[in-house]
Structure 1
């Protein structure tokens, strides 16, 4: 079974790189978004199993996007990305419905498939 993912980041270069990594690991990127509002719309339209979500977006931050999605039926499994992990606690992440965090510079080494696999189980 293919796992559908939406990639959210305001940097088009990072979106391209993340899409390439996810696709290489057998995941299907169904949409890319550059801000929180378009991320919410993409998730509602495509109903992906996973969301690779940047913390810093031009309108809403990633935690706000995650909190809104957590209120919806069958929210996607959210993996947060950022360059700085020290900005929030694990409790804040869990309260927002975020499954895990992967630093942007560690994304290439992450087992991306397993991060999103439990979304389908």
Structure 2
């Protein structure tokens, strides 16, 4: 790995950042920076101009999908390796469309992170094939409904399913309480659900949480 020597780790877990820092240092990245909140990432990219960003999708202040979108909208020249615990089934394609160069599940371990870093550093991408499991009619219908949600709708859906209130989500996403309430109503309609309890069951059934 000769061309990429500067890297930004964006993850809100100190242990993960520490492990990644050791790993990437061994891979020859001489300058390594860290961000623990999503809203820090764009300014740090501007300041440090990293060749690669290792990005978690679940972070305070701004989620990773929003960060990816802003990186692309601002024309920032860096490769992004998404490193997340969220389900590949629902997030890998979204990340590809948003401009990520790789998607690695945190359940895969650090060896896949190395493979992804080596791939994006020489201009390749690193995305694994999604499992081709047979889905029954209910699973197929629900997956299609999830796939039709916007990135923001899916993010709010997960916050609600994890028990956050409208007010808490509004603070995290820098949106108004009324806007979150509107999204909540839209989600229950789009997913054909009756309540927040059903929303949590829906997300658990589809391995979103």
Same fold, TM-score > 0.5, yes or no? yes
Taking the aligned partners of 2:91 and 2:3, their CA distance within structure 1 comes to 32
Larger radius of gyration: 2
Distance 1:43 1:107, change over 3 A: farther
Distance 1:107 1:2, change over 3 A: farther
**Structure with the higher helix share, 1 or 2:** 2
Distance 1:107 1:44, change over 3 A: farther
Taking the aligned partners of 1:101 and 1:86, their CA distance within structure 2 comes to 8
Shift of 1:30: 2.9
Unmatched runs of 5 consecutive residues or more in structure 2: 124-209
Q: TM-score, normalised by structure 1?
A: 0.86
* Aligned-pair Cα RMSD in Å: 2.1
Count residues in correspondence.
Answer: 120
Report if aligned partners of 1:5, 1:30 keep a CA contact under 8 Å in 2. Answer: yes
1:55 to 40, 54, 57: 57
Relative contact order (alpha carbons < 8 A, sep ≥ 6): 1 or 2 greater?
A: 1
Q: TM-score, normalised by structure 2?
A: 0.52
Q: Name the structure 2 match of 1:70.
A: 72
**Structure with the higher strand share, 1 or 2:** 1
